[in-house]
Structure 1
Amino acid sequence: MVYEEKMITNGEPEDEEEDEEDLVDPLETMRQKCAETEHCVHTQARLEQCETRVNSRSATEEDCTEELFDFLHARDHCVSHKLFHSVK
């Protein structure tokens, strides 16, 4: 009888909840930190200026693809130097 009780309790999870930490993606953390650096802030400002300019016009063929890629490149360049030092 004791053997059967052990099998039942070992086979099913206990009712007690374990305290699990919420996992934080280090990539997202690094992206946020890098977006605050001087070069990234500058490229993000250029992107926002472009978006404001494009949204203020009703008929324009201009888009902000170049500015977006410049910002993403600057941010990811910063992340690439820092991220792999924190990965275990």
Structure 2
Amino acid sequence: MVFEDKMITNGEPEEEEEEEEEEDLVDPLDAIRQKCEETEHCVHAHERLEACETRVGSRSETAEDCTEELLDFLHARDHCVAHKLFHSLK
């Protein structure tokens, strides 16, 4: 008598051991974000954020943080992305 190992699959088809190579998916959001960061409004907001970070970084003791500037930059970028993203989805 020969003993065979069998896997209980609960009605699911058995998986093949060979894995097919999957194509690397590219997130369109990353490309659109980069393009939006180059727009005039985003560049201005990013410059304000960098200026704030430089100012805060130069001081040893300060209660100032750059939250407002960061949120302004993210808002400008996301506003631009929102108008372009859904046109590129399939």
What band does the TM-score fall into relative to the shorter chain?
A: 0.7 to 0.9
Superposition pairs for residues 1-88 of structure 1, below 5 Å? 13=16, 20-88=22-90
Identical columns (%): 77
Q: Number of residues paired by the alignment?
A: 78
Shift in Å, 1:55: 0.3
- What TM-score do the two structures reach when normalised by structure 2? 0.76
Secondary structure of the corresponding residue to residue 45 of structure 2: helix
Q: Distance in 2 between matches of 1:45 and 1:82?
A: 23
Runs of 4+ in 1 over 3 A off after TM superposition: 11-15, 17-20
Stretches of structure 1 lacking an aligned partner (at least 5 in a row): 1-10
- CA displacement at 1:21 relative to structure 2: 2.7
CA RMSD of aligned residues (A): 1.6
Mind listing any 5+ residue stretches in structure 2 that lack a counterpart? 1-13
Farther off after superposition, 21-30 or 46-55:
21-30
> Please, what TM-score do these two structures have when normalized by structure 1?
0.78
